[in-house]
Structure 1
Amino acid sequence: MFRPLSIFIGLRYTGAKRRNQYISFISLASMIGLALGVMAMITVLSVMNGFQREMSSRILGMVPHATITGTQPISDWRQIAAEARKNPQVTAAVPFAELEGMLSYKGVMQPVQINGIDPQEETKVSIVGQHIVQGRLDDLKPGEFGVVVGEITARRFRLNVGDVLTLIIPELSNAAGGITPRMQRLNVVGVFKVGAELDSSLAMINVADAAQLQRMQSGQVQSVRLALKDLYQAPQVSADVAKQLGEGYRPSDWTLTQGSLFSAMKMEKTMIGLLLSLIVAVAAFNIIATLIMVVADKGADIAILRTLGATPGQIMAVFMVQGTVIGVIGTVAGGLLGVLLALNVSAVVGWLERISGQHIFSSDVYFVSNLPSDLQSPDVVLICTVAFVLSFLATLYPSWRAAQIQPAEALRYE
């Protein structure tokens, strides 16, 4: 089979045994370094994707995707919900209320956000029903002022189902300070655990009780909560629904309350990816060092090829082929190992825990009990492409230096 001269010689140089074993070692080290860099980037970014997926499913499964709030209390929320469901992105619409206050129990206090929900409708828009660890969500009955608190709150107050809390809500008044605290006793009827910050900052009561605390009439609600197919269209969808309903309604969505968290996670993934790319860059510099030493070692061979009629372009291509082969092998090996490790990282961590006898991810400390991984093909393609491009660029300068060798100078002392 016909092969161009440059490719033929470059492949021979790559596979041939060298007189200088140190050059062979550096070449192997470059290949291994590139493979390790690619493997580390794929694995770490997959793990970060897994954490982001877990955070998204847990936090965004609890907080509203979008809400439509009336400037006046909403008397017929079902009509608003029916109008909202006409939007193809809206999958469910339920009554909703939000309050902020302080929980007090035996002298201990903490701030809390109270969500008023309908227990029968809440499962359409929230995952809280799947994460009740004590009691039942259905025990939030109107008029009884029951409350479901997060697991961290329950642990901090040492609460159990049946205990009684005090909710303190600030209320505007004509008093000297302008604000008068209102107090309401709440009966703990359940505890939820989603494994996120919401376990310490969120509690839920019946939407009818929330309306009473907000001094609304029976049957009125503050807002309608929407569940959406595509979370990232929440700002546009909520604005469209509010516009469709006319004046007197204002939209809100999760990007206003949780957007900074997910922006920070995205920035963190980008920065870690850039830092890990330094491993690939170091491997690329090793390829430069390898080819420079090969050029010095093969000076006489280069001179003989030049005297036989090889052009500087052909000489340059010989060493570009050699460096590119190192880059391709390292990138492919690292890509395969990275994909394999990313798909089995949870099993690997479990094996390490069994061997060491220590829990690396304890459910008492972290919101996950295993290491999540979400391998995404665009990340793999991007990482392998960057690694290949860097390794190819690393061949340019040594190859150019090889093409500049003058036969007379190289053969003078041979």
Structure 2
Amino acid sequence: MFGRFERTVAGRYLRARRGERFVSIIAIFSLIGIALGVATLIIVMAVMNGFKADLMSRILGLNGDLSVFAYGRPIENYGDTVAAIRQVPGVTKVLPIAEGTVLIQAGSYSSGAEARGIAPADLQKFTAISSGIEAGTLADFHGDDAIAVGESLAAHAGLSVGSSLTLLSPNGQATPFGTMPRIRTYHVVAIFDAGVNDYDSSVVLMPLESAQKFLMMPDAVSLIQISTADPLAVQPVTREVVSRLDDPRLRVLDWTQQNNAFLGAVTVEQNVMFLILTLIIVVAAFNVISSLIMMVKDKTRDVAVLRTLGASRGAVMRIFLMCGAFVGIVGTVAGTLIGVVFCVNIRRIQTAVEHITGAQVFNPQVYYLEHLPEKLIWGQVIEVVLLALALSLLATLYPSWRAAKTDPIEALRHE
């Protein structure tokens, strides 16, 4: 498509000579603009993908892929229900949980929290918690006075392993003077880090039987939390679980129904960020147009001479297409390399920035996560590269067409 003559002339035009450096500088800035736009788009999309994937894995790891519960009442005689659910193909974990809202107090610290009762054997399989034990051990998670708390709650309340923590539940015994709240003191046996600040600061874990006694729901649970082999294919499992439930009062909700608004907002934000950052590449493409137009203006006499010597309009157009394509291709390749290298080393870069500035880049008190995540999807990288190349090549069409339309007689009339 591009002959040796056209490649030679395009190469000479790209090499700035004395008196032509201004046009070359504009081309360099266009190249830098495309590179920065591509790199920024790749980095931001990777961070957004990582944020969404990490957030989903943590939310699903803590709350399960689907839940079985009964509106306004606990699930009584749940043993048969749990056994039936465990037989469903695709189900990997079933956790019966008793939960209730309580007031916690440790010294002068008091706050609302959610008490969750879970069987000690099930807690060992609950990897979102068992893999994040910061202090103590789950081997002591048994008996009537054992409790496990999150790292954030322990820091705010000044708790450590062995500390006492008082729980107050509004569900108590009815007396002639009204309902008396239940109060009981527990001892911290483990401190966990679930990786989600809201969970670490507002959830306390108790052995299931102890929680059932304190929350006054003997032989009953609040919900049954279910994990599956593939969360993205949860709907067939949900339908199978519903078909095996004998109690029509039980309801099943999967993660797509429980968190659809939140995850949908993240997806919308990701798409909007893609569109906004694409404008950086569009602006850089306009710079390519301006630099090529100035090059065409500067090379008008040269084009006229080439046409006089027999160069066709197509050859002239291809020469300037090559000049603009060179800027777009080099800028896209450079931006892709910068973006990929940045994403691969994003944790090291975050650590270095925090070390230099002394400030925390990703505050877990504000965000759900504790570090800057990234997930590089090569399909998206290819889309960004193709988008940048397409915009860069489109930007070369008009200036190249104008160069091909140059009339050699008019261009050389006053020479």
Greater CA drift, 367-376 or 284-293? 367-376
| Structure 1 residues 83-98: aligned runs within 5 Å | 83-98=84-99
Is the Cα contact below 8 Å between 1:103 and 1:168 reproduced in 2? Answer: no
Residues 108 and 157 in structure 1, CA contact (< 8 A), matched pair in contact too: yes
Q: Which residue of 1 aligns with 2:182?
A: 183
Separation in 2 of the partners of 1:215 and 1:239?
Answer: 32
Deviation string 1:280-333 (CA, Å, 9 cap, x unpaired) is 222111101110001101111222333344444443332222111110111011
Shift of the alpha carbon at 1:104?
Answer: 3.9
Alpha-carbon distance, 1:213 to partner: 4.2
Gap change, CA 1:287 and 1:370, over 3 Å in 2: same
C-alpha contact (below 8 Å) 2:304/2:408 kept by paired residues: yes
Q: Does 1:26 align with 2:26?
A: yes
CA distance in 1, matches of 2:328, 2:176: 75
CA change 1:329–1:138 in 2 (3 A) is same
State the SS of the aligned residue for 1:60: helix
Distance 2:106 2:236 in 1: 41
CA drift at 1:359: 5.2
Give the Cα–Cα distance (whole angstroms) in 1 for the partners of residues 273 and 91 of structure 2: 35
CA distance in 2, matches of 1:124, 1:370: 25
Aligned-pair CA distance for 1:275: 3.0
Displacement after TM superposition at 1:368 (Å): 6.3
Shift of 1:36: 2.0
SS of corresponding position for 1:375: coil
Q: Tell me if the contact between 1:211 and 1:222 (Cα under 8 Å) persists in the aligned partners.
A: no
Note the 1:284-363 alignment, pairs <5 A. Answer: 284-354=285-355, 356=356, 358=358, 360-361=360-361
Q: Which residue identity is paired with 1:182?
A: P
CA shift at 1:235, angstroms? Answer: 4.7
**Any residues of structure 2 matched to 1:214-229 within 5 Å, and which?**
214-218=215-219, 220-229=220-229
Is residue 225 of structure 2 the alignment partner of residue 194 of structure 1?
Answer: no
Q: Hey, what does 1:209 align to over in structure 2?
A: 210
- 8 Å contact from structure 1 (residues 33, 279) kept in 2: yes
Shift of 1:384: 1.1
**Is structure 2 residue 115 aligned with structure 1 residue 114?**
yes
1:105, distance to aligned residue in structure 2 (A): 4.3
In 1: Cα distance, 2:89 partner to 2:4 partner: 59
Residue 234 (structure 1) shift: 3.4
Distance across 1 between alignment mates of 2:6 and 2:93:
65
Alpha-carbon distance in structure 1 between the residues aligned to 2:184 and 2:317: 82
C-alpha separation between the residues in 2 aligned to 1:288 and 1:84? 63
Distance 2:295 2:256 in 1: 56
Question: 1:363/1:403 Cα in 2 relative to 1: closer, same or farther (>3 Å)?
Answer: closer
Runs of at least 5 residues in structure 1 that lack an aligned partner in the other structure: none
Query: 2:182–2:214: 8 Å Cα contact kept in structure 1?
Result: no
1:316-359: CA deviations, max 9, x gaps? Answer: 332222111110111011111221221122223334455x3735
Instruction: Give the whole-Å Cα distance in 2 for the aligned partners of 1:73 and 1:348.
Output: 49
User: Residue 406 of structure 1 aligns with which residue?
Assistant: 407
2:41·2:277 contact (CA, 8 Å) conserved in 1?
A: yes
- State the TM-score, normalizing by the size of structure 1: 0.85
Q: Name the amino acid aligned to 1:27.
A: A
Change in Cα spacing, 1:231 to 1:263, as seen in structure 2 (3 Å) is same
Q: Which residue of 2 aligns with 1:65?
A: 65
**Counterpart amino acid of 2:394?**
L
Residues 1:18 and 1:63: Cα distance change in structure 2 (over 3 Å): farther
Secondary structure of the equivalent of 1:49?
helix
Check conservation: 2:362, 2:370, Cα contact below 8 A: yes
Point out the more displaced range, 145-154 or 51-60. Answer: 51-60
Counterpart in 2 of 1:238?
A: 238
Deviation of the 1:271 alpha carbon: 3.0
Instruction: State the distance in 2 between where 1:399 and 1:23 align.
Output: 16
Q: State the secondary structure of the residue aligned to 1:374.
A: coil
> 2:44 is matched with which residue?
44
Bigger Cα displacement from structure 2, 66-75 vs 374-383: 66-75
- Spell out, residue by residue over 1:252-289, the C-alpha distance to the aligned partner (whole angstroms, 9 max, x if none): 23344444443333333333333332322221111011
Q: Point out where structure 2 has 5 or more consecutive residues left out of the alignment.
A: none
Quickly say closer, same or farther: Cα 1:336–1:18, change in 2 above 3 A: farther
Residue matched to 2:77: 75
Take 1:110 and 1:253, find their aligned partners in 2: how far apart are those partners?
A: 30
What SS class does the counterpart of residue 34 from structure 1 fall into?
Answer: helix
1:64–1:188 distance in 2 versus 1, CA, 3 Å: farther
- Please tell me whether the aligned partners of residues 63 and 126 of structure 1 are also in contact (alpha carbons under 8 angstroms): no
SS in 2 for 1:155: helix
Question: Superposition RMSD on alpha carbons, in Å?
Answer: 3.3
Question: Which amino acid is the alignment partner of residue 183 of structure 1?
Answer: R
Structure 1 counterpart SS, 2:37: helix
1:214 Cα deviation from its structure 2 partner: 4.8
Are residues 259 and 97 of structure 1, via their aligned partners in 2, closer, same or farther at CA, if it must alter by over 3 Å? farther
One-letter code of the match for 1:322?
A: C
Instruction: Give 1:323's aligned amino acid.
Output: G
1:131 deviates by: 1.6
Amino acid at match of 1:41: L
After superposition, give the CA deviation of every residue in 1:356-387 in whole Å (9 maximum; x if it has no partner): 37354488867766544332212211221111
| Identity across the alignment (%) | 33
**What displacement does 1:246 show?**
4.0
Count residues in correspondence: 408
Matched residue, 2:35: 35
Question: Is 2:97–2:223's contact at 8 Å kept on the other side of the alignment?
Answer: yes
Alignment partners' CA distance in 2, 1:274 and 1:7: 35
Deviation at 1:153, TM superposition (A): 2.1
